[in-house]
């Protein structure tokens, strides 16, 4: 559930971009950062290892404006995709409000997609979340590559619960904002729903 | 002690505290504790007073006492909070973490428990207490059997402590789980670990190579194959992998060389069809390769020798009882011919079409891997589609057929499965893989019990017959059966050419069948072979004769048949065949020989001395044979080893050659090269303790290439050397894969350094955001650090201070939290007073601090504003009990999950606090304002961390009662 700070009248929603290594998570954030107007975005913190892989996490705060007097911000995070950063991924998922899964469409990366998705489910569970309930959007990235797997197959395999999904080419910005909007919407709806229930 | 006494003691203690006479106050409180040994508040207070006296050890003792009391009363969160207080007072020690972990276990919060266990492990490791660390790791694995990272850690610790067997078992267990979970990436890591323990685990090595190939990690394939080579003779699987890797790396010539090595191995083992398939692969990547062309198509300059080596019809082969049979070069081809006669050959047109439309090796691999993916995800129809694309071009592709069979079986398509099974059966039988062939039929029959063909095949395979492919024809079978009793006879690969070779046979061999060339090879035979090798005149009998021969020699020894590729490959001038042992050269005869080892295997009785007799063999020549040794072959093999850097092997082979042929100049020359190379290696061997092989790979000079030999092979070695020299260096670097999981601490440190470099101190907004990010992750210290940077900026001071207060609450330091809230309030542009959320947070802080009356006061104020706010009713109820003199609240497990009894709409429309603040009574100073957080992780942190505060918060100006 989102972090609501009454004193500073802020709502912070945490959205985590998850997925296999080199799938395009950071590229998504970079594109968003490039295209957002300066007054709505914070600094993009994106540190890379020597091998150009995400170090710990990328972080981009976005201001979505005021909602009834509360400054609402979306904090976008990516996780390091490589398998040996599982502890980091688990940590980053703490307090998550919504997940964007950036799948790599290359057919040879299907295994990695599946593995990462399973890892996501496990880490969510270990953090006390239910994958079936958390706001979730799927982005099939790299659709422009010739070795892209068939979309329907990817949907069947990766998105059986038919969450909103998009065919993306993050390097060109295709579906990057559509994905963001979709997850933002789901998070806000979920926030309203869960607080109403309580 | 009477109640009156207790009251008096409390009053006395309070007076002492007011006078800062803490030691006396402690004595009073200790008396109460004697009276009420479960009074956790008194224990906590004593601990605090000891802290004021700077007696940390005593304070810790009472904190631990209080924690145990909370634990025993079911207040696990409070117990945890108090233990965290202990952590802040004591030097790093595993014990508190273990206790906290145990408490989390009681709360069924496994992840948190494991997290604390891990910290304890890290401390133990630092302290060198390995056994303790191992013990906890085992606990973790019991707690979370599926916690594979934990198991990896355990295995790593085993390795560190020299417990290799335990580590191996653990890794094997992990690997099994990963296979089940289809986690190939992790599996690679585990396999790599296993190989560091048992480098000679060939099965793991093969699996690893497969995984590398599947992932396109070709450099690692090269590296792994190199390691296999260092451990012994490379097998066909390894070399095929090598070839595939080179193909993928677009190193065509090297791929061709590797494939040819594979073909060579096959032919040496008499696996002619497989060798032929390999040559087809060669053509796929290099359609101009003359050698492969000649072998696969039967055309080109080597066609003549191919004809020459074609066996005459088997009926003319003379094998006599009691005499070593005349072995000819015909075996495989002869079998093919026979089968061709029995099974109508595929029309040439079809074969031509297949070749014309042939898929590249990459395409085949791609289709197969795609099929695998589809299959794995249950998309069988798609998988079948892909496989059919392969079989459309290569009707006898075993892997594709096997996959198809399994898919049809899985889909209950028994008719299709049976058809495939029949085809596969014939191919496998032809390959001598009788077990698999029978297994396929058994499986097929299980789903198609009435299938007469399958029944017949099953019956046949159960019997001693040897010619499966001919079964449909049935000619001469009874005779065969009657005369061939040993089941091994069926397994000789050359007996029955694979169905896949039918086309080829049809295309290239028919004219060879009747060449009338009689080839006799005096291969050493066991007596029983000859005894059983009565041969009849017809094809079927000929077949049986081959079977009988194979029987006598054992199923693994089909070497009396020299396959075509062997001839061509080793001798460009292959037409000038040399005679086999004991025979004069003849242009019409197939040259053939066994290697020394083969001779030994086939004919153990053959006296060693005989092998040294190169009867009738010239000392020089392109294809010397004798003493069971094919010189060209042996030279070639030596060259291969030489190029792979396995000098010892190469040298050994050359010495054998020279033993048989002392004047063999090429062997001498090569031996001299090797000797020189060894000397170079020795001189260079001081570098980093590299192995001989490693050195040879790393040497910059290209090996001397013999112009008369397989140049591709030299290139192969050279390229491999270049590739691997880099790889070797890389593997020396610490790689994350080898460390399994990278710890958060490690990553965090690097990240913080990166942030330091890339984010200015003045960038308060970013530091504030980072603080929130850290706090969300539970990295409270890091969050505090960031907020402290942020509050330097006036714009972020108030918000930063509030966040600091929240963070301190998360650390179980409510006193510090209160301080931060107060500062926030005092700061310019600070939060407005009477914010309901802040009031509530302030109340929580006081409650956590132990000032229940102040807490009650603030909760009441919150209730005045909104009687349904979060769990305000419950709070008021519990604190009312306190006001009546109760010390202990109800266990937290009984707390209703009603803390979020507000709605988003409430939140978003909650302007009332500001509107009401002027009216709301201010009950005491300072008027606290605290943020209200949504629930999720933060809430739990607050509640569990609310009972202790190591700091020395400024007390509100309200009389404090401690009970």
Distance CA B961, CA B267 (A): 95
Strand A136-141 with A45-48, pairing: unpaired
Cα–chain center distance at B844: 49
What gap in Å lies between CA B885 and CA B862, rounded to an integer? Answer: 23
**Residue B30 pLDDT exceeds 80:** yes
Q: Give the integer Cα–Cα distance in Å for B102 and B80.
A: 10
Residue B180 touches partner A, C-beta closer than 8 Å: no
Number of H helices, E strands in chain B: 51, 2
Q: Report the distance separating Cα A49 and Cα A40, nearest Å.
A: 28
Residue B122 has pLDDT above 70, yes or no: yes
- For position B438, what pLDDT does the model report? 84
The structure tokens listed for B870 are 């979060």
Q: Is B932 on the interface with A (CB under 8 A)?
A: yes
Sign, CA torsion B416/B420/B425/B426? positive
Q: What is the pLDDT of residues B265-290, one digit of tens each?
A: 888 888 888 888 888 888 888 888 88
Asked if the Cβ–Cβ distance from A7 to B837 is below 8 Å, we say: yes
Considering B119-128, B496-505, B945-954, the range whose residues carry the highest mean pLDDT is B119-128
Of B773, B835, B910, nearest to A75 by CB-CB distance is B773
Contact B931 A118 (CB under 8 A): no
How many angstroms away from the CA of A156 is the closest CA of chain B? 9
pLDDT in tens, A38-61: 888 888 988 877 666 778 889 999
Are the C-beta atoms of B480 and B308 separated by less than 8 Å?
no
Among chain B residues, CA nearest to A77 = B773
Among B534, B538, B564, which Cα is nearest to B551's? B534
DSSP B181-223: HT-HHHHHHHHHHHHHH-TT-HHHHHHHHHHHHHHT-HHHHHH
Looking at mean pLDDT, say which of B254-258, B586-590, B884-888, B903-907 comes out highest: B254-258
Q: Can you give the C-alpha Rg of chain A in angstroms?
A: 16
Q: Extract the tokens encoding B704.
A: 């001397």
Query: In a 3-state reduction of DSSP, which class is residue A167?
Result: strand
Q: Is the pLDDT of residue B816 over 80?
A: yes
Q: Is B376 exposed, middle or buried (0-12, 13-18, 19+ CB in 10 A)?
A: middle
CA of B822 to nearest chain A CA: how many angstroms apart?
13
Q: Which residue has the higher pLDDT, B883 or B355?
A: B883
pLDDT in tens, B343-386: 333 333 333 333 334 566 767 777 887 787 677 667 788 788 88
B184 to chain A: which residues are within 8 Å by CB? Answer: 111, 115
- Residues in CB range of B50: below 8 A, 6 or more apart: B22, B26, B56, B58, B59, B62
Whether residue A75 and residue B798 make contact (CB cut-off 8 A), yes or no, is no
User: Nearest CB to B934: which of A2, A115, A192?
Assistant: A2
Residue of A nearest to B754 (CA): A47
Going by C-alpha positions, the residue among B873, B868, B808 that lies closest to residue B842 is B808
Q: Which of B215, B744, B769 sits opposite A88 (nearest CB)?
A: B744
Query: Are the beta carbons of A27 and A100 closer than 8 angstroms?
Result: no
Q: Is the pLDDT of residue B203 over 90?
A: no
Query: How many CB atoms within 10 Å of residue B631?
Result: 29
Give the β-pairing of A45-48 and A10-18.
unpaired
Would you call B363 an interface residue with chain A, using a CB distance cutoff of 8 Å? no
Q: pLDDT tens for residues B378-431?
A: 778 878 888 888 888 777 788 888 889 989 988 888 888 888 888 888 888 777
- Listed by number, the residues of chain B in 748-807 with a beta carbon closer than 8 Å to a beta carbon of chain A are 748, 750-751, 754-755, 758-759, 763, 765-766, 769-770, 772-773, 776-779, 798-799, 802-803
Q: Which residue(s) pair with A169 in the sheet?
A: A174
What's residue A28's pLDDT? 95
Highest mean pLDDT: which of B450-464, B508-522, B878-892? B450-464
Q: Which residue has the tokens 């072995």?
A: B327
Secondary structure (3-state) at A101: strand
Three-state secondary structure string covering B735-757: CHHHHCCCCHHHHHHHHHHHHHH
Q: How far apart are CA B475 and CA B540, in angstroms?
A: 7
Query: What is the structure's pLDDT at B831?
Result: 55
pLDDT class of A158 with cuts at 50, 70, 90: very high
CA distances in angstroms from B237 to A191, B240, B486, B909, listed in the order given: 56, 5, 30, 70
Collapse the DSSP code of B341 into the 3-class scheme (helix H, G, I; strand E, B; otherwise coil) and give the result.
helix
Q: State residue B914's pLDDT score.
A: 35
User: For A3, which DSSP code?
Assistant: E
Q: What is the pLDDT of residue B501?
A: 37
Q: Best of A1, A5, A6 to disrupt the B interface by mutation (most B CBs within 10 Å)?
A: A6
CA angle B213, B218, B219 (to 5 degrees): 140
CB contact under 8 A, A108 and B799: no
Using DSSP's 3-state secondary structure scheme, residue A148 falls into strand
Contact of A104 with A142, CB cutoff 8 Å: yes
Please name every residue paired with B147 in a beta bridge, in sequence order, or none if there are none.
none
B313 pLDDT higher than 80? no
List of residues 6+ apart from B524 with CB closer than 8 A: B324, B599, B602, B603, B605, B606
Neighbours of B894 (CB within 10 A): 10
B179: contact with A, CB 8 A cutoff: no
Question: According to DSSP H, which parts of B216-360 are helical?
Answer: 218-231, 236-248, 252-268, 272-285, 290-297, 303-309, 331-342, 348-356
Residues of chain A contacting B902 with CB distance shorter than 8 Å: 195, 198
Helical (H) or strand (E) element with B418: helix B414-430
Beta strands A70-78 and B625-626: pairing type?
unpaired
pLDDT bracket for residue B884 (50, 70, 90): low
Beta carbons of B83 and B103 less than 8 angstroms apart: yes
pLDDT tens track for B768-783 = 999 999 988 888 888 9
In this complex, is the C-beta atom of B245 within 8 Å of any C-beta atom belonging to chain A? no
C-alpha A116/C-alpha B96 separation (Å) is 34
For residues B544 and B531, what is the distance between their CA atoms, to the nearest angstrom? 13
Q: What angle do the packed helices B665-684 and B631-643 form, to 10 degrees?
A: 20
Calpha distance B802→B804 (Å, rounded): 5
CATH ID of A3-197, from 3.90.180.10, 3.30.420.10, 3.30.2010.30, 3.40.50.300: 3.40.50.300
pLDDT for residue B114 is more than 60: yes
Both tokens of B26, joined, read 């402690």
Partner A contacted by B901 (CB < 8 A): yes
Give the 3-state secondary structure of residue A70. Answer: strand
Spatial distance between the Cα atoms of B102 and B899, rounded to a whole number of angstroms: 26
Backbone angles phi, psi at A169, to 5 degrees: -135, 90
Nearest neighbour of A88 by CB, restricted to B747, B773, B938: B747
A3 φ, ψ to 5°? -85, 110
Set of chain B residues whose Cβ sits within 8 Å of the Cβ of A118 = 181, 183
From chain A, the residues in CB contact with B185 under 8 A are 83, 111-112, 115
Strands A10-18 vs A3-5: parallel, antiparallel or unpaired = antiparallel
Residue A50: partners with Cβ closer than 8 Å, 6 or more residues away: none
Nearest to B903 among A82, A83, A196 (CB): A196
| Residue B515 DSSP code | -
Whether B934 contacts A3, CB under 8 Å:
yes
pLDDT, average across residues B856-870:
82
Site from A84, A97, A156 to mutate, B interface, most B CB atoms within 10 angstroms: A84
Q: In chain A, whose CA is at the least distance from the CA of B825?
A: A7
Read off the tokens for B98: 């273990």
Q: Which residue of B has its CA nearest to A147?
A: B366
Q: Which of B80, B136, B135 is nearest to B107 (CA)?
A: B80
Could A115 and B766 be called an inter-chain contact, meaning their C-beta atoms sit closer than 8 Å? Answer: no
Q: Does B824 touch chain A (CB under 8 A)?
A: yes
Contact B542, B470 (CB under 8 A): no
Beta-carbon separation of B798 and A115 below 8 A: no
> CB neighbours (10 Å) of residue A51?
7
Residue B109 has pLDDT above 90, yes or no: no
pLDDT at B312: 33
Contact with chain A for residue B145, Cβ under 8 A: no
Are B688 and B694 contacting, i.e. CB atoms less than 8 angstroms apart?
A: no
For residue B937, the chain A residues in CB contact (below 8 A) are 94-95, 127-128
Residue among B577, B605, B604 at smallest CA distance from B593: B577
Extract the tokens encoding B160. 């560190």
What's the number of CA atoms in the CB half-sphere (13 Å) around residue B334?
A: 38
Q: Which residue has the higher pLDDT, B130 or B807?
A: B807
Tokens of B322: 């009691």
B143 burial (CB, 10 Å; 0-12 / 13-18 / 19+) is middle
Q: If pLDDT is split at 50, 70 and 90, which confidence band does B715 have?
A: very low
Q: Could you tell me how many residues make up chain B?
A: 963
pLDDT band at B705 (very low <50, low <70, confident <90, very high): very low
Cβ-nearest to A92 among B777, B824, B938: B777
- Residue B960 is given by DSSP the state -
Query: Would you call the peptide bond into B926 cis, given omega within 30 degrees of 0 as the criterion?
Result: yes
pLDDT band, residue A99 (cuts 50/70/90): very high
Paired with A12 in beta bridges are A3, A73
Mean pLDDT of the B613-622 span:
37
SS3 category, A56: strand
In this structure, the dihedral spanned by the alpha carbons of residues B482, B487, B493 and B494, taken in order and rounded to 10 degrees, is -30
- What does residue A111 show for φ and ψ, rounded to 5 degrees? -60, -45
- Domain boundary assignment for chain A: 3-197
Q: How far apart are CA B557 and CA B595, in angstroms?
A: 12
Distance from CA of B747 to the nearest CA of A (A): 6
3-state DSSP call for residue A63? strand
Taking a C-beta distance cutoff of 8 angstroms, is the pair B254, B246 a contact? yes
């Amino acid at each position: 559930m989102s972090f609501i700070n009454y004193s500073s009248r802020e709502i912070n929603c945490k959205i985590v971009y998850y997925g296999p290594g080199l799938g395009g998570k950071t590229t998504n954030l970079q594109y968003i950062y490039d295209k957002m107007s300066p007054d709505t975005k914070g600094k993009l913190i994106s540190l890379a290892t020597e091998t150009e892989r995400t170090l710990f996490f990328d972080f981009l705060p976005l201001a979505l404006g005021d909602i009834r007097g509360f400054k609402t911000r979306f904090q976008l995070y990516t996780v390091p995709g490589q398998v040996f950063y599982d502890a980091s991924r688990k940590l980053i998922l703490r307090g998550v409000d919504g997940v964007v899964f950036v799948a790599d469409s290359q057919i040879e990366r299907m295994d990695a997609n599946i593995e990462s998705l399973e890892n996501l489910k496990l880490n969510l569970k270990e953090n006390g979340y239910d994958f079936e309930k958390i706001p979730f959007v799927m982005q099939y990235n790299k659709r422009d590559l010739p070795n892209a797997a068939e979309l329907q197959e990817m949907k069947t395999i990766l998105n059986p619960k038919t969450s909103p999904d998009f065919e993306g080419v993050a390097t060109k910005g295709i579906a990057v904002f559509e994905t963001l909007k979709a997850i933002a919407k789901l998070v806000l709806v979920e926030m309203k729903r869960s607080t109403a229930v309580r | 002690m009477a109640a009156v006494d207790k009251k008096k003691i409390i009053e006395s203690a309070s007076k002492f505290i007011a006078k800062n006479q803490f030691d006396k106050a402690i004595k009073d409180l200790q008396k109460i504790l004697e009276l009420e040994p479960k009074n956790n508040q008194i224990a906590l207070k004593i601990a605090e007073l000891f802290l004021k006296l700077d007696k940390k050890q005593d304070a810790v003792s009472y904190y631990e006492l209080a924690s145990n009391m909370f634990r025993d009363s079911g207040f696990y969160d409070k117990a945890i909070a108090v233990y965290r207080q202990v952590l802040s007072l004591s030097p790093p020690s595993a014990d508190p973490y273990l206790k906290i972990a145990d408490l989390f276990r009681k709360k069924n919060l496994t992840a948190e428990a494991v997290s604390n266990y891990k910290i304890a492990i890290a401390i133990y490791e630092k302290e060198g207490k390995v056994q303790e660390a191992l013990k906890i790791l085992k606990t973790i694995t019991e707690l979370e059997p599926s916690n594979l990272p934990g198991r990896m850690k355990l295995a790593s610790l085993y390795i560190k402590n020299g417990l290799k067997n335990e580590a191996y078992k653990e890794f094997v267990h992990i690997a099994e789980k990963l296979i089940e979970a289809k986690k190939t990436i992790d599996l690679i890591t585990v396999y790599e670990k296993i190989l560091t323990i048992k480098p000679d685990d060939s099965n793991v090595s093969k699996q690893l190579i497969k995984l590398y190939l599947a992932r396109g990690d070709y450099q690692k394939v090269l590296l792994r194959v190199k390691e296999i080579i260092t451990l012994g003779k490379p097998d066909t699987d390894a070399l095929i992998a090598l070839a595939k890797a080179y193909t993928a790396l677009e190193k065509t010539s090297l791929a061709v060389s590797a494939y040819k090595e594979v073909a060579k191995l096959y032919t040496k083992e008499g696996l002619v069809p497989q060798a032929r398939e390999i040559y087809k692969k060669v053509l796929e990547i290099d359609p101009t390769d003359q050698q492969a062309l000649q072998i696969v198509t039967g055309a080109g300059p080597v066609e003549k020798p191919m004809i020459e080596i074609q066996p005459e019809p088997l009926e003319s082969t003379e094998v006599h009882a009691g005499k070593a049979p005349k072995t000819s070069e015909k075996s495989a081809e002869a079998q093919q011919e026979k089968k061709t006669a029995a099974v109508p050959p595929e029309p040439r047109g079809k074969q031509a079409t297949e070749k014309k439309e042939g898929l590249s090796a990459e395409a085949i691999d791609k289709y197969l891997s795609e099929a695998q993916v589809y299959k794995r995800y249950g998309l069988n129809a798609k998988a079948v589609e892909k496989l059919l694309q392969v079989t459309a071009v290569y009707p006898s592709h075993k892997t594709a057929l096997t996959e198809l069979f399994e898919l049809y079986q899985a889909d209950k398509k028994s008719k299709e499965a049976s058809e495939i099974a029949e085809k596969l059966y014939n191919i496998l039988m032809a390959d001598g893989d009788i077990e698999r062939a029978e297994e396929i039929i058994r499986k097929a029959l299980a789903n198609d019990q009435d299938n007469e063909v399958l029944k017949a095949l099953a019956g046949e395979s159960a019997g001693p017959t040897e010619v499966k492919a001919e079964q449909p024809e049935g000619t001469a079978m009874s005779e065969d059966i009657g005369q061939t009793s040993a089941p091994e006879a069926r397994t000789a690969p050359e007996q029955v050419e694979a169905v896949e070779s039918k086309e080829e046979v049809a295309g290239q061999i028919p004219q060879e069948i009747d060449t009338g060339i009689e080839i006799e090879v005096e291969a050493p035979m066991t007596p029983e072979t000859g005894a059983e090798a009565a041969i009849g005149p017809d094809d079927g009998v000929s077949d049986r004769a081959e079977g009988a021969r194979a029987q006598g020699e054992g199923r693994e020894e089909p070497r009396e048949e020299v396959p075509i590729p062997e001839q061509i490959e080793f001798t460009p001038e292959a037409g000038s065949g040399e005679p086999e042992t004991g025979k004069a050269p003849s242009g019409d005869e197939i040259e053939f020989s066994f290697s020394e080892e083969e001779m030994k295997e086939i004919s153990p009785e053959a006296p060693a001395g005989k092998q040294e007799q190169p009867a009738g063999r010239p000392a020089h020549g392109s294809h010397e044979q004798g003493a069971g040794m094919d010189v060209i072959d042996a030279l070639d093999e030596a060259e291969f080893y030489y190029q792979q850097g396995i000098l010892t092997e190469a040298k050994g082979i050359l010495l054998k050659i020279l033993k048989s042929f002392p004047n063999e100049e090429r062997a001498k020359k090569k031996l001299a090269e090797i000797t020189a190379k060894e000397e170079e290696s020795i001189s260079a061997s001081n570098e980093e303790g590299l192995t001989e092989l490693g050195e040879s790979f790393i040497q910059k000079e290209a090996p001397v290439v013999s112009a008369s030999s397989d140049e591709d092979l030299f290139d192969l070695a050279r390229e491999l050397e270049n590739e691997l020299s880099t790889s070797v260096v890389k593997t020396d670097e610490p790689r994350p894969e080898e460390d399994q999981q990278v710890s958060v601490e490690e990553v965090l440190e690097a990240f913080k350094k990166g942030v330091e470099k890339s984010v200015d101190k003045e960038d308060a907004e970013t530091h504030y955001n980072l603080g929130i990010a850290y706090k969300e992750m539970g990295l409270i210290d890091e969050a505090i650090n960031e907020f402290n940077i942020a509050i330097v900026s006036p714009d972020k001071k108030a918000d930063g201070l509030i966040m600091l207060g929240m963070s301190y609450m998360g650390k179980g330091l409510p006193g510090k939290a209160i301080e931060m809230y107060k500062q926030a309030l005092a700061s310019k542009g600070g939060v407005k007073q009477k914010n309901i959320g802040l009031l509530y947070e302030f109340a929580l802080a006081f409650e956590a601090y132990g000032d229940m009356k102040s807490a009650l006061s603030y909760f009441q104020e919150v209730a005045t504003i909104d009687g349904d706010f979060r769990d305000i009713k419950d709070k008021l109820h519990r604190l009312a009990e306190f006001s009546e003199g109760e010390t202990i609240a109800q266990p937290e497990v009984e707390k209703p999950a009603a803390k979020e009894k507000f709605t988003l709409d409430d939140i978003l429309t909650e302007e009332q606090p500001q509107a009401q603040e002027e009216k709301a009574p201010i009950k005491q100073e300072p008027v606290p304002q605290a943020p209200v957080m949504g629930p999720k992780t933060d809430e739990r942190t607050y509640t569990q961390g609310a009972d202790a505060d190591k700091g020395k918060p400024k007390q509100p100006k309200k009389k404090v009662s401690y009970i």
